[in-house]
Amino acid sequence: MSAHCQLTGAKPGFGNNISHSHRRTSRRFDPNVQRKRYWLPGEGRHVRLTLSARAIRTVDTIGIEAAVARIRARGGKV
């Protein structure tokens, strides 16, 4: 699964692991993305979205219709 949030656009950050001897190796900081299924009453169907944990709370606050409108405004496909 791609570590990319459809609503907020959160994607992996990159940095370094630093060992005790201070050697640096590359690593990724992945966002906490989940696949979640919502009922979209305006279209009479379910939609499956890839959302970060923060975006799931945002959907709970603004509602699924407004969240889908934001995703489509960003150019995302639902």
Residue 44: predicted pLDDT: 97
Sequence letter at residue 52: S
Tell me the pLDDT tens digit for each residue of 18-73: 999 999 999 999 999 999 999 999 999 999 999 999 999 999 999 999 999 999 99
The DSSP code sequence of 38-56 is: EEETTTTEEEEEEEEHHHH
Cα separation, 77 vs 34, whole angstroms: 17
2 falls in which pLDDT band (50, 70, 90)? confident
pLDDT of residue 1: 58
Q: Are 78 and 68 in contact (CB under 8 A)?
A: yes
Indicate the pTM of the whole model: 0.85
Size (the chain), residues: 78
